[in-house]
Amino acid sequence: MKTTIHLQKKTVQVDLSKPIDISIPLQASAENPLAWYQKKPIIEPVKMGDWVGKVAEGGSVNFNNVFFNPHAHGTHTEGYGHISEVFYSVNDALKTFFFLAEVISVKPEKVGEDEIISKESIAKALNGKTPEAIVIRTLPNSNSKKSKHWSNTNWPFLHEKAALFLREIGVKHLLIDLPSVDKEKDEGKLLAHKAFWNYPKNPRQNATITELIYVPDTVKDGSYLLNLQMASFHNDASPSKPVLYKIESTIK
């Protein structure tokens, strides 16, 4: 059934019964993606005296503690507080949750030992469109991204000029299928983060970056409605669940 969604610049119709989840779920397993030199997440039942929070072991309920790092263990959304000296919660950065998004596929360019996502490749893929959100799928694309251990791999990254370009055309929400928009080991320069958020000159408080997504090949490049769901963490970043909906029609 089609549902009409009123956005800032357009009104679109989507079928909310057909969500496309592009998040990677957290699991206490070696199959969980890992980054930033962290070990796998831990999900374990609470134990208090003789009581254990696991029904299979005699407990009345399943009652687990979860130990994880949002940046290292799965899909997460962050605000400029991720790189600022003064604390700024991502929960304050994201106040609305539906956006017109453009899904693009780009192949990073080999430059020396690095693979770089250039401004030119993004501009070509967008072809003049200026969406509020952009979803970047890097090529080649495979299911292994959902369980990859990224540490010490020198993953592809977004060139500073590409991040600046996205900021200049008005993109507020950047989503990518890598552990970071920046180079793994960049001596703390964080050029893409800073360019996108306009930090420290005049930080864009309502702009977000979502990393470690996975966009299946069945999702074609083009325009979608993005529902950027996020847990209410008072932190620089939060685990998140971005969901796409195919746009059935545009009213205006």
- How many structural domains is the chain composed of? 1
Please check whether residue 218 lies inside any domain of the structure: yes
Domain CATH number, residue 132: 3.50.30.50
What CA–CA distance (Å, rounded) separates 10 from 128? 17
pTM confidence score: 0.97
| Domain span holding position 6 | 2-26+70-250
Q: CA of 225: how far to CAs of 74, 77, 94, 108, 248, in Å?
A: 22, 17, 16, 26, 10
Please check whether residue 148 lies inside any domain of the structure: yes
Please check whether residue 61 lies inside any domain of the structure: no
Q: What digits encode the pLDDT tens for the residues 32-64?
A: 999 999 999 999 999 999 999 999 999 999 999
Q: CA of 33: how far to CAs of 89, 108, 156, 225, 230, in Å?
A: 24, 21, 16, 26, 19
Please check whether residue 34 lies inside any domain of the structure: no
Q: What digits encode the pLDDT tens for the residues 72-98?
A: 999 999 999 999 999 999 999 999 999
Average pLDDT over all residues of the chain: 97
Please check whether residue 20 lies inside any domain of the structure: yes
* Residues paired with 114 in a beta bridge: 111
Please check whether residue 125 lies inside any domain of the structure: yes
pLDDT at residue 8 tops 90: no
Q: What digits encode the pLDDT tens for the residues 175-187?
A: 999 999 999 999 9
